[in-house]
Amino acid sequence: MKTQNTPSEWAHVMTANSGSDGGGLIVDCRIEAGAWPDHLALEALAEKTLLSASSNASLRAAKRYVDGSEVSLLFTDDATIKALNGQHRAKQTATNVLSFPQKGPDAECFGPYLGDIVFAEETISREAALENKPFMHHVQHLMVHGFLHLFGYDHIDDDDADEMEGLETTILQTLGLADPYGDTVKP
């Protein structure tokens, strides 16, 4: 159940440890605005999703990061993300997710601060409804998508998009989710 959250209602740091290969990840989550699900549900979802993403063998082989690195997740609304999109990308529209990497895509090693990922609740809700998928599944997809952007993955050209989408699909499959780029049922 989604609830209205007040700014600064929730800030929590969790450590997701990806196992014996190191790769611990600190995730700082905050709900700023929007009708997001309960903070405990978002915390559990972020931990599960980013643990899977950070321990993915393909990602770890291609883009190393410092053990104990940190990522910040901000859950907000369309107004906030529209302002950020305008300020940083010169686009005067809301979007579902924005990533702000700390390092450039050619960095040899990422961390200890990986960057920020910002999510817009209204846009994500509309997209999930249009794609006929559960809201939280779409949030998980966007968590993975935003996380990959922190490592320099993008979808500007077809080859880069194929690489990023393939990695997203692989990570989401480990979470039991369908390919977000496959056929979707439109209502």
What confidence category does residue 2 fall into, taking pLDDT thresholds of 50, 70 and 90? very low
Residue 136 has pLDDT above 90, yes or no: yes
Residue 32 has pLDDT above 60, yes or no: yes
pLDDT at 59 (0 to 100): 64
Cross-strand pairs, 29: 12, 73
Residues 6+ apart with CB under 8 A from 124: 96, 97, 135, 138, 139, 142
Quote the pTM value. Answer: 0.82
pLDDT at 104 (0 to 100): 67
Residue 20 has pLDDT above 70, yes or no: no
Check if the beta carbon of residue 91 is closer than 8 Å to that of residue 78.
no
Check if the beta carbon of residue 114 is closer than 8 Å to that of residue 102.
yes
Check if the beta carbon of residue 30 is closer than 8 Å to that of residue 5.
no
Sheet containing 10-16: give its strands across.
Answer: 10-16, 25-31, 69-76, 113-120, 97-101
pLDDT at 63 (0 to 100): 62
